[in-house]
Structure 1
């Protein structure tokens, strides 16, 4: 596939940007790279696209890609390496973009081998190995969250006996809240770790951690040429019946300027201690009752799902253009983001297993009632007879995005729409 859109208004030669797989929410990055006048190559991963039920050929962003290479599974590092080396031999690669958790480390490894600037491979691997990340930060004096990788229930119970309940159980490597649980007592711990799904959920190891309480936020931070770019602090919401499940985000967070600076300073210190090098990073943080930030999770990639779009709706600008420029190792001169609105997303899925409705109900009432405040409302059921209970981000079937000048109003409208949609569906949803 080839399109002729290469041009540069600044007179410089176009660079070659290689995207390794894609997600629907991050497809606008193709358009950003093309708009900047670069040659865009995409390495597709059919297995990932099928799991997300997305189709590149029907994507409006397909027209912004110059060349496409198709792999069955891009997480196969040997196949990925072979593809990248062939691409690099034909037209030298200037920068990579990888926004999928499972591919950041493989891409970083190959980029290092061929001499292309990217997020540091060893640091990205350490960030994704959650206990290793905590060990590095503890050695740097930044994080003291008690944690352990355990072999099974007995060791996890011994840890919980020392720290006290509740505790957090999660895969040692993983994303999307899949397999994560806040466990209230020993009975629940036994159920989580000895149930029929335990072997699959914790195949990368079992991490048990001290429970952190407070306000859940995330810091979105860029790093280019040793300079941090403070992009946003977002506030996160979770389901009170399964606290590890995120139900939404608002950008920017409703925190004080002092708290904002404290969160950003902590996130910068975390990224610096991990020595990630360059990129845009998503740092999940808990602000304790004492105002102290504590790390929940460090992701060596840009924020996922629709959050880059929320950033734009809130007035932050095109974060994908910034992402491309950073990964082309450009020097970026950008001050702190000054938002003009509050953008909120709420995701929802089924609380319990329910028969899949025959059709999606008419959702036109939401636009009629909320007008320009409603950016989007989508309901897409899985292609199964039964909708399974939602216990991770991949289990959501609905999403609403709202933008408003007032933070509380933005959140209220989104939550009202979820409630009314659930009533129309006749089912209880996560919210």
Structure 2
């Protein structure tokens, strides 16, 4: 029998974590991607990346069948929402453990997800589905301003905006329907009530809630994350209610295999579900869980994928926090410094700077607006926040405004 292989379909911010965890578990990772060049930064990991049309199930089956003549394919997975349904179908084709593709597909359609949750009595924002500008405007009028306007299919807050006036709705529709937003399917827009309150995320594996994370965002109208804290400083009443609503989500959407993260806001009427994501969360959630509890979510997910026994028991108890480094203007990055000094701060566990000199900065109002991050973990929330703040102050950058030629 050949080398044991883990097939990774496309990747995300945590692809390196999957590659490294697979190797620790004695697996040889192979990436299947429509654009293998995007993983050149993993050259030091000596990974194998093969070009395949990852939107074509038959092409993926053919490639996996070819690989199976040489390797022992122990599992197939992905951390990317757009390919996770396909992963479920591949796993079923090859008789491997994997997610229910129907459940994943239902979740990826945010309108359909809302319908199932509402029918099950899960508290969700008021919502409407629209296919054109007139329907968006009438939906907003029915719900009442302000409203959140976003694609019905998508992730990472791409194309999501809070609209407080009719003019802002019209402006955002120009972006969504005017050719600037990339639609994977025919344009369908979700218009929903803007629920206010502290945002939390329930981190779940299978049907077990590992913990609750607090998320803090930059000011609207975009939804760009600024900072995360795990575990969140919540009361026992809040924890109980969030856990209860999360379990109702799993039952309503027929989930309960593998990783799920459920975003909620704590409102005057209790927890309201913003979104259910039936996949491994992106950065920094896996790192925060590992720093706080010593649980490697990625490795435990891989164990599930290959049919091994997982272990979600905490190894220790700390408070971890992460801060996104987000630019406040567009232009050309002149310089960015302070990473090594920030990494030397007691309590800081990781510092990553993405920015390089001469790199263009064009803010998009979503997860892509990030020059780097800092993670800290200590025995208490005040200590962690102090370490994080001290480290962030040591990092600085300069962005040169773009010169606009005038006639």
Aligned: 1:42 with 2:42: no
1:19, 1:40 within 8 Å by CA — same for their partners in 2? no
- Deviation string, structure 1 residues 80-105 (Cα, Å, up to 9, x no partner): 22212223454453432211222101
- Per the alignment, residue 54 of structure 2 pairs with 74
- Per the alignment, residue 342 of structure 2 pairs with 366
Which of 297, 322, 325 is the matching residue for 1:348? 325
2:205, 2:256 within 8 Å by CA — same for their partners in 1? no
- Deviation string, structure 1 residues 204-227 (Cα, Å, up to 9, x no partner): 42111111111101111111xxxx
- Taking a change above 3 Å as real, the CA distance of residues 382 and 132 of structure 1, as seen in their structure-2 partners, is farther
Q: Map of 1:288-367 to 2, 5 A cutoff?
A: 288-290=267-269, 292-332=270-310, 334=312, 337=314, 340-357=317-334, 359-367=335-343
- Deviation string, structure 1 residues 237-285 (Cα, Å, up to 9, x no partner): 1001435111221111111233223212221221222113511111111
**TM superposition score normalised by structure 2:** 0.87
- Per the alignment, residue 269 of structure 1 pairs with 248
- Per the alignment, residue 103 of structure 2 pairs with 123
1:21, 1:42 within 8 Å by CA — same for their partners in 2? no
Q: How far apart, CA to CA, are the structure 2 residues paired with 1:361 and 1:197?
A: 39
Q: Map of 1:2-401 to 2, 5 A cutoff?
A: 16-23=5-12, 25-37=14-26, 39-45=27-33, 47=35, 50=38, 54-59=40-45, 62=46, 68-91=48-71, 93-195=73-175, 198-201=178-181, 203=183, 204=185, 205-223=188-206, 228-290=207-269, 292-332=270-310, 334=312, 337=314, 340-357=317-334, 359-368=335-344, 370=345, 372-381=346-355, 386-401=360-375
Task: Name the SS for the 2:35 alignment partner.
Answer: helix
Stretches of structure 2 lacking an aligned partner (at least 5 in a row)? 402-407
- Deviation string, structure 1 residues 296-342 (Cα, Å, up to 9, x no partner): 1111111112321121111332222211122234454645x475211
Task: Name the SS for the 2:65 alignment partner.
Answer: helix
Q: How far apart, CA to CA, are the structure 2 residues paired with 1:206 and 1:392?
A: 17
| Count of aligned pairs | 397
Q: How far apart, CA to CA, are the structure 2 residues paired with 1:333 and 1:377?
A: 28
Task: Name the SS for the 1:176 alignment partner.
Answer: coil
**More moved, 140-149 vs 154-163:** 140-149
- Deviation string, structure 1 residues 336-386 (Cα, Å, up to 9, x no partner): x475211111112222212221x3324343345x2x312233322268653
Stretches of structure 1 lacking an aligned partner (at least 5 in a row)? 7-14
Q: How far apart, CA to CA, are the structure 1 residues paired with 2:128 and 2:174?
A: 18
1:137, 1:270 within 8 Å by CA — same for their partners in 2? yes
1:347, 1:398 within 8 Å by CA — same for their partners in 2? yes
